[in-house]
Structure 1
Amino acid sequence: MSLEIMPVHGIGHVSEGDDLAAMIASAAPWLRDGDILVVTSKIVSKSEGRLVDVPADGPERLAARAEVLAAETARVVAARGATRIVQTHHGFVMAAAGIDASNVDKTRLVLLPVDPDASARALRAALRRRHGLDVAVIISDTMGRPWRNGLTDVALGVAGLNAVHDHRGEVDPYGNELELTQMAVVDELAAAGELVKGKCDQVPVAVVRGYPTTARADDGPGARALVRESSLDLFSLGTAEARAVGLADAAGLPDGTCPTPPDPAAIGRAIAAVRPA
């Protein structure tokens, strides 16, 4: 197998309402069927109008950003100082809900697309319908990883490609049946695309060519397939947050020596007392 990873230059500034399919097709007339587009979520968000106005600096900016973060947060996973790791309404666990202030005017913040899988499907459909191209589309964004330094790009949305390559049931060269191996191939492709996009080069789209798969006729289940169910997540909270939940649960347990149920107000005061720890 041999892969090519190519940057798409010349897309330029993206504003609300811009036609991303036309911009990409114009900047990359060399696109061909079977290619995989890796598109930075920021230009998708800009074209979809996922921006909010905030003060340029000062405490008013911090207050406005905190309000936006609260609106984008489904639950707080961990907090340390001003840093918040949260689960978004999409199910992604990320720092600051993926809110971005880079490569945008200082008075604006960029939010994640409302539905990255739908965005990927729409872009793929437009390229097929208006430009005759049968390509797969990955919407990517940058994330950190627990237990590892540094950032990498991952897939938030995908159309035309399976998010996971499931090796379960296959037999390795030593005769061992694979029982757990599921490769998040769209995350690997998103990270590969980032190698030629960069963060300061204003290259928001990359093309991966030669990946050995046939593009799906349908769009597939999308990147939502990568979101782990909370019941299967062994690390669903940070240490302090897990301790607070444990204390709250313990406070509600019945006491065999007390015939009356616990006082909810007293439980609330106890949780408030330990929360700063």
Structure 2
Amino acid sequence: MDFPKVEIIGVKGLPIIKEGDDLASLIIEAVERMGLNLRNGDILVISHIIVSKSEGRVRRLEEYRPSRFAEEIAKRSGKDPRHVEAILQSSRRIVRMRDGLIICEAVGGHICANAGVDLSNAGIGRVALLPEDPDLSASRIRERIKKLIGVEVAVIISDTQGRPLRRGSINIAIGCSGLKPILDRRGERDLYGRTLRSKMICIADELASAAELVIGQADEGVPVAIIRGYEFERSEEPASMIPRSEQDDLFL
């Protein structure tokens, strides 16, 4: 019987990632140790933390000298002043601050808590910054995999983010390569023949969020997932096109 089916496979066995590591090669080796192989049409969802580590985007907190502004925010938020300084240096602007939360527009354009500057899984006394250009990171990994094993995959770099009016955080795409991030179904008809006028689906975010079911955010040790069986439209459009402009965002 023919029916829609999507498979999500967590990739285990990756080592602790260091600056300069060849992520594509390490992912291929880990998948093969699991008795599997990457296939044409697979989608790799990769947690940004290992991309940041491989690109040298982990910093020691002691490298940061807090400004007076960072000290003031630290007093109000309860955060380490050095962490606040790292956040400020990674931000275009502060969007909101309340009850220890600092919501910023990161240098890459994504609006998120702490400009994506992460203490978790970075090591004691260290912070992980977002990849400098997540779309470029995704493209390089995708191209490297094709060069190594001749397989054409799509790649999503993911991070967790909260949502207005909803409790809890979910995985979103901050970088992608090889798939169309947004499916525009405007102009199509529904089951009753009505024309769809506002149906735009962020496929990249939905795939990233689905992958988090096996990746997790704590000590699972699964920073990569393979999504297999989903039919997607190939594209070179970047994830940087996903965030709404300030003029279009009702919550800003």
TM-score by length of 1: 0.80
Report if aligned partners of 2:180, 2:232 keep a CA contact under 8 Å in 1. no
Deviation at 1:213, TM superposition (A): 2.3
Match of 1:158 in 2: 176
Match of 1:208 in 2: 227
Equivalence map 1:5-24=2 (5 Å): 5-24=8-27
Report if aligned partners of 1:40, 1:205 keep a CA contact under 8 Å in 2. yes
Match of 1:224 in 2: 240
- Cα distance in structure 1, aligned partners of 2:122 and 2:200: 36
Local SS of the residue matching 1:192: helix
- 1:13-61 C-alpha deviation (Å, 9 max, x unpaired): 0000000010001011311111000000000000000011115xxx998
- Does residue 25 (structure 1) correspond to residue 28 (structure 2)? The answer is yes
Report if aligned partners of 1:163, 1:186 keep a CA contact under 8 Å in 2. yes
Aligned residues: 231
- Cα distance in structure 1, aligned partners of 2:116 and 2:107: 11
Equivalence map 1:109-120=2 (5 Å): 109-120=127-138
Deviation at 1:170, TM superposition (A): 0.2
- 1:156-202 C-alpha deviation (Å, 9 max, x unpaired): 00000000011100011111100111000110100111101112211
Match of 1:242 in 2: none
Report if aligned partners of 1:197, 1:205 keep a CA contact under 8 Å in 2. yes
- Does residue 147 (structure 1) correspond to residue 169 (structure 2)? The answer is no
TM-score by length of 2: 0.88
Segment drifting more, 141-150 vs 81-90:
81-90
Deviation at 1:229, TM superposition (A): 1.2
Moved over 3 A (4+): none
- Cα distance in structure 1, aligned partners of 2:158 and 2:84: 24
List alignment gaps of at least 5 residues for structure 1: 237-277
- Cα distance in structure 2, aligned partners of 1:102 and 1:62: 14
Match of 1:98 in 2: 116
- Cα distance in structure 2, aligned partners of 1:37 and 1:49: 21
Say what the alpha-carbon RMSD is for the aligned residues. Answer: 1.6
- 1:233-258 C-alpha deviation (Å, 9 max, x unpaired): 1221xxxxxxxxxxxxxxxxxxxxxx
Report if aligned partners of 1:12, 1:202 keep a CA contact under 8 Å in 2. no
Report if aligned partners of 2:91, 2:105 keep a CA contact under 8 Å in 1. yes
Specify the structure having the higher radius of gyration (Cα).
1
Local SS of the residue matching 2:119: coil
**Identity across matched positions, percent:** 42
Match of 1:82 in 2: 100
Letter of the 2:224 counterpart: V
Deviation at 1:63, TM superposition (A): 1.7
Match of 2:68 in 1: none
Report if aligned partners of 1:166, 1:183 keep a CA contact under 8 Å in 2. yes
Deviation at 1:82, TM superposition (A): 2.8
- Does residue 40 (structure 1) correspond to residue 40 (structure 2)? The answer is no
- Cα distance in structure 1, aligned partners of 2:243 and 2:191: 31
Local SS of the residue matching 2:80: helix
